[in-house]
Amino acid sequence: MRKKLVAVTAAVGAIALAPTAFAADAPQYVLSANSAASISVLATSGDIIGGQILRGTPDGMGVLKNSDGTITILSNHEMSLSDKTVQASKSATGTWGSSVSKLTYNPTTGKITTVSNFINSIQYYDYTNNVWTTDYTKTLPAGFAAVDSYGGDTFSNGLNRFCSSNLVQAGALAYKDGKKTYGYSGAAYFVAEEGGDTSRAFAFDMNGNGIQLPKLGVAGYENALTNPASGKSTVVMLNEDNGATNSQLYMYVGTKQEKGANFAEKAGLTNGQLYTAYVKNTRTDNKFRATYKIGEKVDVSFNPLNTDLAYSDFQAQAQAGGTTFSRIEDGEWDPKNPNVYYFITTESNKDPLATAPNPSESSTARDGGALWRLTYKDVKNPLKGASLEMLLNGTEAPYLSKPDNLAIDEAGYILLQEDPGNNAHVARVLAYRVSDGKLAVVAEFDKTYFAADATSLITIDEESSGMVNANAALKKAGDTASYFFFNAQVHTTTSKSRLEATPVDALDKAAIEGGQYYTMVISDWTKVFN
């Protein structure tokens, strides 16, 4: 008999003296599908750890190695401001909606030992007076609606759908020129809202102090990814996951400063220019597919955008100046080549080849999306230009279904996570070998709970997410294995995702939805593809 959760009678963050519960109380959602991959559960949404309830809907993560041997994991919770349960937590003071959890992981015990709220403060941008402020009520630009088309607040202290994230390690935002140091020497955590055309980008220092980045524009961003080796320039790629016909690839270029009022100014995140990527004579994803072969390199230029919302229609500019992609999801800079940026599109805008059913699931709809590689001539001077190539177009066995997130290993392998979107297809994690384009399945949600005909069905609306390379934190000298953290989103109530016999209403209100955290170890990449 499954042990019941401790009864919860208070809101998240206010539970005192609760015993610690770990993931033994819930099934393991994602299982290895490859002999070279091992997966271990770290924690499950709804666990009470150190008196705190672990929230659900986990997404983007970042990893820091601590001096005492423990590891800090930062984890977004992708909460929508239009969700009625989320709206019930609306606050007139502190932030509400999406949040970031700070988890302490003990690699010796394999347990998450503490959970806390990472966000301490946020400076929002006042578009009327062109200043930062903690008074979010003054931040709504003239002419913008206070409520978006989904029913969520805009330009408020409500944080809407934090999706993927990027933790830039200490030193990567600094640049030394002789005896002078430019930029910010600490680590920074980048997040963005994925809530439509009024969504914002933020950066946080490691004390949880955040600042909105208006020079990065407003759009439904999946992620904001900073190049760690761009020298005095600060280069940030922004992936817009809006719609199949209105998503852009953006590039921000700033200059690191010797001095600044805050870490963002020093890091060159407030003084730069935003651009949208453009492939000549190729305005759409579909046009690119029809014109160019897999692996064919095509020149890319970058057109500047005005991010002053008092004078510009940001979305109209982007559509006019750039090439439209079919929902850009996650991206990563290549850890071995700073000039290379990989990203994925989760859809193909109904391309008949990418949407052809998997032969083994002929009755199940899918969209294979695409994997892309953007290669700069010199990322330290990104306006020199770049080339773009499509590496996967969605036709390749074992037939991707809406690739959503990715992580890259230094040895030249990419892990791709699926988000089929309330679909009968059971979501997987696949490995891609850069050298020859081969694909292999490494993990899959347990069909006992997630197949459409499962007798113990939890939901068919599942996805894995947030995968990050953890080699720097977990790999020891002489170790040839590869290490990753990732999580699962289970889009149903927390109590149902844990198979609780009796729903615990207070727990469901605190955790919102299901989710789970994992380590994945790849013992031998060669065996993955055998």
pLDDT at 507: 86
Q: Rounded mean pLDDT of 450-476? A: 97
Cα atoms in the Cβ-side hemisphere of radius 13 Å centred on 330: 27
Q: Would you say residue 143 has pLDDT above 80? A: yes
Count CB-CB contacts under 10 A for residue 416.
24
pLDDT at 20: 43
- State the Cα–Cα distance between residues 99 and 466, nearest whole angstrom: 14
**Geometric angle at alpha carbon 90, from 87 and 93, rounded to 5°:** 165
What are residue 311's DSSP bridge partners? none
- State the Cα–Cα distance between residues 416 and 441, nearest whole angstrom: 9
pLDDT band at 311 (very low <50, low <70, confident <90, very high): confident
pLDDT at 267: 98
- 302 vs 14, residue with greater confidence: 302
pLDDT band at 13 (very low <50, low <70, confident <90, very high): very low
pLDDT at 19: 41
Q: What tens digit of pLDDT does each residue of 278-289 get?
A: 999 999 999 999
Average confidence score pLDDT of the chain: 93
- The reply to whether the predicted model has a pTM over 0.85 is yes
Q: Would you say residue 301 has pLDDT above 90? A: yes
Q: What tens digit of pLDDT does each residue of 219-232 get?
A: 999 999 999 999 99
Residue 384, φ and ψ in degrees, nearest 5: -65, -15
Q: Rounded mean pLDDT of 345-355? A: 98
* 30-39, 300-309, 432-441, 503-512: least confident range: 503-512
Q: What tens digit of pLDDT does each residue of 96-128 get?
A: 999 999 999 999 999 999 999 999 999 999 999
Q: Would you say residue 3 has pLDDT above 50? A: no
DSSP state letter for 282: B
**100 to 77, 204, 415: CA distances (angstroms):** 6, 11, 23
Q: Rounded mean pLDDT of 39-64? A: 95
- State the Cα–Cα distance between residues 224 and 237, nearest whole angstrom: 6
Which H/E stretch holds residue 285? Answer: helix 285-291
Q: Would you say residue 362 has pLDDT above 60? A: yes
State the pairing for strand pair 273-279/298-305: antiparallel
Q: Would you say residue 268 has pLDDT above 90? A: yes
**Geometric angle at alpha carbon 62, from 201 and 422, rounded to 5°:** 75
Q: Rounded mean pLDDT of 80-84? A: 95
pLDDT at 23: 45
pLDDT band at 504 (very low <50, low <70, confident <90, very high): confident
**80 to 85, 99, 101, 449, 460: CA distances (angstroms):** 10, 11, 16, 25, 20
pLDDT at 491: 97
Q: Would you say residue 87 has pLDDT above 90? A: yes
Q: Rounded mean pLDDT of 126-134? A: 95
Share of the chain above pLDDT 90, in %: 91
Longest alpha-carbon distance in the chain? 67
